[in-house]
Amino acid sequence: HVQWMKDLGAQMGAMRKGVDVEKNAVAMQASLKQTGAFWKARNSEIGSKSCGDTDKGAQAVAKAFAANDKEGVAAGMKMIGAGCKGCHDQHREKISDTVYKIK
């Protein structure tokens, strides 16, 4: 789980910087499949829904980027952020400035 979060963070960071946006959006979808399965196995409705919502955002970003639709990319990025926040609000506990644990 920790590595998936690091992967998702790196993918999101790259997309925010405009680096390989479509490639990272597609990679994010693969990471979210693993993360979604993790939360489904833990019977977390919020985790599963958040992964699904985030995946929809990643799909939207990839599609919009391929169509050179900057507004669509921005809307997809907002969907991703909202999906991540939903899960983090429920399942992420801050231990220190650099360490988090699942709650």
pLDDT recorded at residue 2:
85
Tokens of 15: 């997309």
Let me know if 71 is exposed, middle or buried by CB neighbors in 10 A (0-12, 13-18, 19+). exposed
Q: What is the largest CA-CA distance in the chain?
A: 41
**Domain residue ranges of the chain, discontinuous segments joined by +:** 2-102
What is the C-alpha separation between 67 and 83, in angstroms, rounded? 23
pLDDT recorded at residue 92:
93
Q: What is the pTM of this model?
A: 0.91
What is the C-alpha separation between 100 and 88, in angstroms, rounded? 10
pLDDT along the chain (103 residues), means of 10: 92 97 97 96 96 98 98 98 96 92 90
**Which of 35-43's residues contact partners 24+ apart within 8 Å by CB, and which partners?**
35/1, 35/4, 35/5, 35/8, 38/1, 38/4, 39/87, 39/91
CATH architecture of 2-102: Up-down Bundle (1.20)
